[in-house]
Chain A
């Protein structure tokens, strides 16, 4: 059973640089979610895709953030002009039908 995978697992970047993360969901799952988690907090919703359509975006998703899911398979999350406040764990989850979500291991971003 192949779970949700995320790459890279860790990313260290300098302030102002752009970064891109990738998420590969479980193959038969048509729903894909991105969350952000900081230390001591629960995951916070960023955005949601059903197939290739981005259906929901949080206010947390500023215009420096963009997410895509071409062809309804893998997804990418790009952060432009990174800031120190973007340092967090970025989690991807997928699901089929129903509320239960399967999470990947996350990408830990450190902005210096």
Chain B
């Protein structure tokens, strides 16, 4: 069956450091992979999309890599700030729907 796995434990880092979140998947051949941010009590917000033929994508302090051989995506936030504290969700397409991982909770402390 299709599976998307994200770091189950919360990630605590100090302000200014780089946060790295992992998304692994099995039994998918995705055309693209997306990352969303979710704050408590709110809906997910789209951050980045990376296509299967792209190895890396950047947007301001965010960087995503996509390795279709390893079936893994890494999501980096450089120079992290307390405002980056949230849950980050990885999503793969399945027909018209998105299948999400459980998310990784990130806490950035001053």
Note whether A and B form a binding pair.
yes
**Cα distance A10–B89 when bound, in Å?**
23
Query: What are 22 pairs between A and B in contact, CB < 8 Å?
Result: A4-B43, A33-B97, A33-B98, A42-B100, A42-B101, A42-B103, A43-B89, A45-B98, A45-B99, A56-B95, A56-B97, A99-B34, A99-B49, A99-B98, A100-B34, A103-B45, A104-B43, A105-B41, A106-B41, A106-B42, A106-B43, A108-B41
The reply on B46 being an interface residue by CB < 8 A is: yes
Query: Can you name the residue of chain B whose Cβ is closest to the Cβ of A4?
Result: B43
Interface of B is mostly: strand
Given contacts A41-B102, A42-B89, A99-B49, contact A33 B43 (CB under 8 A): no
Q: How big is the B interface, by class?
A: 20 to 34
**Cα distance A91–B93 when bound, in Å?**
17
**Which residues of B are found within 8 Å of A74, using beta-carbon distances?**
none
A interface residues, Cβ below 8 angstroms from B: 4, 31, 33, 40-45, 48, 50, 55-56, 58, 91, 93, 99-106, 108
**Cα distance A6–B95 when bound, in Å?**
24
**Cα distance A40–B46 when bound, in Å?**
19
